Amino acid sequence: MTPEEEKPAMPADDGDDGADSTKGGSIKKGLGAKLRAYFFAGILVTAPISITVYLAWLFIHFVDTKVARLFPAQYNPETYLPFATPGLGLLIVVAAMTVIGWLAASFLGRFFHRMIDHVLAKVPVIRGIYGTVKQIFETILAQRSNAFREAVLVEYPRRGIWAIGFITGRTEGEVQNITEEETVNVFLPTTPNPTSGFLLFVPRKELVRLSMTVEEAIKMVISGGIVTPPDRRSPAEKKRPKVSAATYEEVDILRERDRVQMLVSRKD
């Protein structure tokens, strides 16, 4: 043994290694987060386009298949062409509807239309189905009916809770005659299936009209509020609220015919 005692070996300083490993881990986490964000961004961009194209292709293929059965093989262009012609059936349907509409607008077309209506109105079962379907299409497609193209807010199912509804027309007949106020027909759709819902007869002055379009309102209903359209009103209108969600929990509101509201305590 040497006179000078040998000093024990000191362990290596792991501080720098620990810092390097922490830095490397943060870099890996940052890279992983970016890749994950890019992946979801790619899905967000491609999914709507892909689904839209796929559904459009299914619809076109369905129409082409049904229309192709109506034409003999010698009149089908695909019989003579070495390739398929997607969309040809859809074009034929559009052209046929246009020609039928042109003929129906003529004097002879109106005569045959009235005659067909008269005949179908005499059939016991068919007249109910035909009349209902005709009224629905006239309401939706007629140029004179623009009331249903409006989204409104309706206080439903109780005071202080608001729901999106769609005006379908002015209330007429017995319902309006027994109601003192002027009422309108409001269709209140359900989420996420807007084809079902409720028919409400709401006083016109209690409706809150929305600036959003019907298409935007339907998207909001279907998405359950996830897709929210922008507010296109002026800055002054945005600062001025139109409705309130405040309610009286301890009182009931009674409405009189002279429109004087009385607050009656529920505890009495």
In a domain, 94, yes or no: no
**What pLDDT shows up at residue 166?**
93
Residue 28: which pLDDT band, with cuts at 50, 70 and 90?
Answer: low
Q: Helix, strand, coil proportions of the chain in percent (round to 5)? A: 45, 15, 40
In a domain, 225, yes or no: yes
**What pLDDT shows up at residue 164?**
94
Angstrom distance (rounded) from CA 29 to CA 235:
42
Q: Is the peptide bond before 203 cis (omega within 30 degrees of 0)?
A: no
Helices (H), 70-179: 88-104, 107-120, 126-141, 174-177
Q: Which of 16-30, 86-100, 115-129, 239-253 is predicted with the least confidence, judged by mean pLDDT? A: 16-30
pLDDT digits (tens, 9 = 90+) for 130-188: 887 877 777 666 544 555 678 999 988 888 889 999 998 889 999 999 988 899 999 99
Which range of residues forms the domain containing residue 176? 151-233
pLDDT digits (tens, 9 = 90+) for 223-253: 888 888 988 888 888 888 887 766 555 555 5
Q: Is 103 strand, coil or helix?
A: helix
In a domain, 1, yes or no: no
CA distances from 52 to 56, 57, 140 (A): 6, 8, 24
φ, ψ of residue 97 in degrees (nearest 5) = -65, -35
In a domain, 250, yes or no: no
In a domain, 139, yes or no: no
φ, ψ of residue 155 in degrees (nearest 5) = -80, 100
In a domain, 220, yes or no: yes
Based on the structure, what is the number of domains in the chain? 1
Q: What is the pTM of this model?
A: 0.52
pLDDT digits (tens, 9 = 90+) for 43-98: 888 888 899 889 888 988 888 888 877 777 777 777 777 777 778 788 888 888 88
**What pLDDT shows up at residue 163?**
93
In a domain, 162, yes or no: yes
What is the arithmetic mean of pLDDT over 113-134?
Answer: 83
Angstrom distance (rounded) from CA 11 to CA 210:
74
Burial 180-216 (b: 16+ CB within 10 A, else e): eeebbbbebbeeeebeebeeeebeeeebeebebeeeb
In a domain, 197, yes or no: yes
Nearest to 151 by CA among 232, 48, 259: 232
Burial of 176 (0-12, 13-18, 19+ CB in 10 A): middle
**What pLDDT shows up at residue 237?**
87
Helices (H), the chain: 15-68, 88-104, 107-120, 126-141, 174-177, 214-222, 235-238
**What pLDDT shows up at residue 3?**
47
